[in-house]
Amino acid sequence: MTILALHRPKITLISLNIEAIALGAYLVRDAFGGVIRYYTSIYHMNALWYVPDAIALLCLIQFFVHCILRNRSTLAFLVLVQIMLSLVLGYFMLGTVNAAVSSFKMMLPVFVGFCFCDSNLGSYRKLLSVIAVTFYLSVIGVFLTKFYLMPWVGYKYESFGAVREAGRLWWAYGGDDQRLMGFAADNTMAAFFILVSFAITSIRMSTTWCLLLGSVAIYATKLTTSKTTMIVLVLYLILLVLVRMLPERSRFPAIRTIALWSYASIFVPFFMIVVASGTAAVPHSTLFSILDRINNSWQKPFIYLTQLMPIGLVTGCGAGCFNYPQQLFSPLAPFWVPVDNFYIGTYLMFGLPFVAFMVMVFRATFGATDVYKLTLIFVVNLFTITVLNYGPASGLLIIALSFSDVFSRRAASARAGDAVPIVVRRPMPSLEGFRPDMPAASGSR
């Protein structure tokens, strides 16, 4: 017994760091995707690209052990079963083994994010340092691509038998608006990594740092021409300053309230469809992209689904459908439409069970105590109004991380009995009066 007691902390520590290692690996790979894809290809080390996915397989095991066995979360078990069933359904829907393998690989980051369910992201000090460095380098990368043509632009590489190409430098309106892609080789993802890494890093920084570096980040996202990212970043910076102006005891409740109200963004596409559906989109105009989403991206997949699999409107058409596995590896590629919204795209794959899951996520947010997760909920809910965010993998991982409290030990205990209320401890004083310095359930990282 004594020997077991001495060795148990080491086993627990190793287990609890897998998700941090996986997140760091995915973040570095995707934020510098152009660089890594180019140099691993020319030096014939393509296998290195899949290292984060191998680590994510361990997180799948940890999710089963921690969330299902240890926390006894029925919801975690149902989610795992639903994902596996959707992978099978997706295989029959898309019709190729490559599409099924790609769909499985696409879903792995979900389990990495879910493994943070009983953790406070602020306790992963080394991971936060990696995220901070990612922010600085992502901004620098955007500025560099403004003046230099990077070697990976237009470079073609093969993945699961499909030839893919790093994004080319192009102009949004045939004039002066260059879509700069930084080290990520994609302008939208370059902007996304600036947004997310800034939001996470800013929580521990002074207001002066936030205003100064936030202004630089906004200008960098403007250079990428990602309007959604720039709007979300501006809103986040304004709300950050307003929250820090509140009395100490009111700040954390304000953060949670903002996170809860951000779920209203789920209904924005449906409101836009009702108001503007059928409005002609003029090419190269300011509103072209949003009108194209209203008329095509958000509606056509449901039209095609009624032709291909009508029951899919309720059950979903399986993991990978109307996503890049269908676009790259399926005979149904002619029916593929870019579904530029996370919630619409996920509903197409998983159907009504996804709606039930989101109800539980929303309920769990009322008891959330990690300011990092609450911040990310606000950021991803607004960002994904016009972005599917399943690729690169870090995008889906960040969403899963922000939702992970739904599988926490506290949430599972509350669901075990209808009469058991969720009890939230009062947050302790925070750094810069912005975040509660809550002790992590699993100790320091």
- Tens-place pLDDT, residues 121-149: 999 999 999 999 999 999 999 999 888 88
DSSP state of 238: H
Domain extent listing, the chain: 18-415
Q: What is the pLDDT of residue 178?
A: 60
Furthest C-alpha separation in the chain: 74
Number of H helices, E strands in the chain: 20, 2
Q: What is the pLDDT of residue 381?
A: 98
Calpha distance 305→348 (Å, rounded): 8
Q: What is the pLDDT of residue 149?
A: 80
Give the 3-state secondary structure of residue 163. Answer: strand
Under the banding of pLDDT at 50, 70 and 90, the label for residue 235 is very high
Under the banding of pLDDT at 50, 70 and 90, the label for residue 164 is low
Contact status, residue 370 vs residue 376, Cβ threshold 8 Å: no
CA distances from 194 to 91, 180, 191, 401 (A): 35, 13, 5, 18
The mean pLDDT of 171-193, rounded to a whole number, is 73
Calpha distance 403→352 (Å, rounded): 18
The token pair at 385 is 């109004």
Q: Helix %, strand %, coil % for the chain, to 5?
A: 70, 0, 30
Calpha distance 18→24 (Å, rounded): 10
Under the banding of pLDDT at 50, 70 and 90, the label for residue 165 is low
Determine the distance from the C-alpha atom of residue 445 to the mean position of all C-alpha atoms in its chain, rounded to a whole number: 22
For the segment 48-67, what is each residue's pLDDT rounded down to a tens digit? 999 999 999 999 999 999 99
Q: What is the pLDDT of residue 289?
A: 86
Q: What is the pLDDT of residue 285?
A: 73
The mean pLDDT of 327-338, rounded to a whole number, is 94
In order, the DSSP letters of 294-321 are IIIITTHHHHHHHHH-TTHHHH---TTT
Contact status, residue 230 vs residue 221, Cβ threshold 8 Å: yes
Q: What is the pLDDT of residue 283?
A: 78
Q: Is 357's pLDDT higher than 60?
A: yes
Calpha distance 141→133 (Å, rounded): 12
DSSP state of 375: H
The mean pLDDT of 187-196, rounded to a whole number, is 94
DSSP state of 175: S
The residues, any chain, with a CB within 8 Å of residue 64's CB and separated by 6 or more, are 80
Contact status, residue 384 vs residue 192, Cβ threshold 8 Å: no
What's the pTM? Answer: 0.87
Q: Is 3's pLDDT higher than 50?
A: no
Ranking 149-153, 343-347, 414-418 by mean pLDDT, the lowest is 414-418
Residue holding tokens 């979360």?
Answer: 73
Closest Cα to residue 55, out of 122, 111, 13? 111
Q: Is 251's pLDDT higher than 90?
A: yes
**More confident of the two residues 161 and 79:** 79
CA distances from 32 to 180, 182, 230, 394 (A): 14, 8, 20, 12
Residue holding tokens 């699993």?
Answer: 442
Q: What is the pLDDT of residue 2?
A: 43
Q: Is 15's pLDDT higher than 50?
A: no
Please name every residue paired with 158 in a beta bridge, in sequence order, or none if there are none: 163
Calpha distance 197→200 (Å, rounded): 5
The mean pLDDT of 285-297, rounded to a whole number, is 87
Closest Cα to residue 118, out of 373, 359, 355? 373
Determine the distance from the C-alpha atom of residue 217 to the mean position of all C-alpha atoms in its chain, rounded to a whole number: 19
The mean pLDDT of 287-298, rounded to a whole number, is 90
Looking at every residue in the chain, the average pLDDT score rounds to: 86
Phi, psi of 73 (to 5 degrees): -85, 110
